[in-house]
Structure 1
């Protein structure tokens, strides 16, 4: 409705970026800040928490000192659209991911708070915005961060979309984070990757080469190629000739799936067949 739109002078409907850092400017301490790129200026944010609806997680590669740095973008819908950007290897990102992985219902608002640690460290504390109850988690330095992100993204894709957002924010959200048209592709890749014990980092690198962040952003044929490359990588040292690997995969996986067998079942049967063949040769 037109009455819901504030007319007159306003700022462009662009996301507001918050960056995480335990720093100080002119004697003013802060834990996150805005950055004025035009004037190369850090603008401290005094509030230490942001309340809103978690909309998505996004991995973004940014160049720093000639090297690519992977950033985690936390997309939050509130009075405006916010993007909390932090290094994927930071304590803030890891404590956020561990906490948010405990949530099943993303239709309710959260409070994301920045908490200071020793020296320059910043941690994330997550709260239920309605009850003000902290969402606690156990620390796990060896967690599979890529898998956690994938699981959260899958849950977000399946959560309720009836979040009360103003029209302008909804348009910006769709522009910044396009909705996934094939969320099942994320689960498909995860299942095969886990089955093959294929490195998560290799999947991420493959996706980056395709200039996407999630399998669900790819065409079906591209996901087919990703699955095939993972399977062939697993089998590459189990055949005498590379052509035998491809023909075996085609016969036991591609043709099985075409006949109606699930892909996971077909891959499992293929792996067993290959391992049994190897065992016979050894005996």
Structure 2
């Protein structure tokens, strides 16, 4: 991104809000809080982070939002309500993408539905292919758990809240696994989890009853989940 010298606007992210209107589905706010319609239906950039269950105050009182951070021609934060179809279709699409795919630019689009509904679709800007998601059984989906899983995946890519694991070039696979399990032991102890709690989570999340059965990717995912719980349990 080119850095322009001299006077200009305050360098802060531009919030984008999702709302269906007659001829647009999202908008920005001017400095005097007036809505500025965005008539384009697509925004292409690179994800730099995501906040789920973000608590905000609005004219109707406290609310929970999803903030998707995207770096394009400038930093954007696309904000939508936790329980909206936009947020749910966004989470389904992001969950379907691999960690490698999430490192690349993608195009996020708004699509109007019935009534006040707005859907989200994600496209590969090179192949123009959309991320196929299914709404089958969406009423049974644990959306909070899905949001946490997507957040862990995206924020791990951005190295947020990561602590370095000391592994040398001569470390064997079994030693790496031992290091990862030892790290998870530390977090489990800090969370006061019982062995049964741990086994129940592993069975539900990975279909396994022991950390020794997890792949390196799964144990890292488990560690990220434990770290998230510690962060959420810390007093502010």
Q: TM class, shorter-chain normalised? A: 0.5 to 0.7
Distance 2:63 2:198 in 1: 24
Distance 1:6 1:114 in 2: 30
Q: Residue 82 of structure 1 aligns with which residue?
A: 76
Which structure ranks higher in relative contact order (CA pairs < 8 Å, sequence separation ≥ 6)?
2
Q: Residue 135 of structure 1 aligns with which residue?
A: 131
TM-score computed with the length of structure 2 as normaliser: 0.66
Q: Residue 161 of structure 2 aligns with which residue?
A: 180
Residues 145 and 31 of structure 1: CA distance in aligned 2, closer, same or farther (over 3 Å):
same
Residue 95 in structure 1 maps to residue 76 in structure 2: no
Residues 11 and 120 of structure 1: CA distance in aligned 2, closer, same or farther (over 3 Å):
same
Contact 2:50 2:154 in 1 (8 A): no
Pairwise CA RMSD: 3.4
Q: Residue 108 of structure 2 aligns with which residue?
A: 112
Q: CA deviation at 1:23?
A: 1.4
Count how many residue pairs are aligned between Structure 1 and Structure 2.
182
Gaps of 5+ in 2: 165-182, 203-224
Q: CA deviation at 1:10?
A: 2.1
Residues 47 and 147 of structure 1: CA distance in aligned 2, closer, same or farther (over 3 Å):
same
Contact 1:182 1:217 in 2 (8 A): no
> Pick from 135, 142, 145: which aligns with 2:143?
145
Deviation digits for residues 109-133 of structure 1 (CA, Å, limit 9, x no counterpart): 1110000001211000111122110
User: 1:62 is paired with a residue of what secondary structure?
Assistant: strand
Contact 2:50 2:155 in 1 (8 A): no
Distance 2:6 2:14 in 1: 20
Q: CA deviation at 1:4?
A: 5.2
User: 2:24 is paired with a residue of what secondary structure?
Assistant: strand
> Pick from 51, 57, 63: which aligns with 1:63?
57
Deviation digits for residues 106-155 of structure 1 (CA, Å, limit 9, x no counterpart): 11111100000012110001111221100011112321222222222222
Distance 1:9 1:133 in 2: 40
Q: Residue 34 of structure 1 aligns with which residue?
A: 28
TM-score computed with the length of structure 1 as normaliser: 0.56
Contact 1:18 1:32 in 2 (8 A): yes
Distance 1:180 1:72 in 2: 19
Residues 73 and 137 of structure 1: CA distance in aligned 2, closer, same or farther (over 3 Å):
same
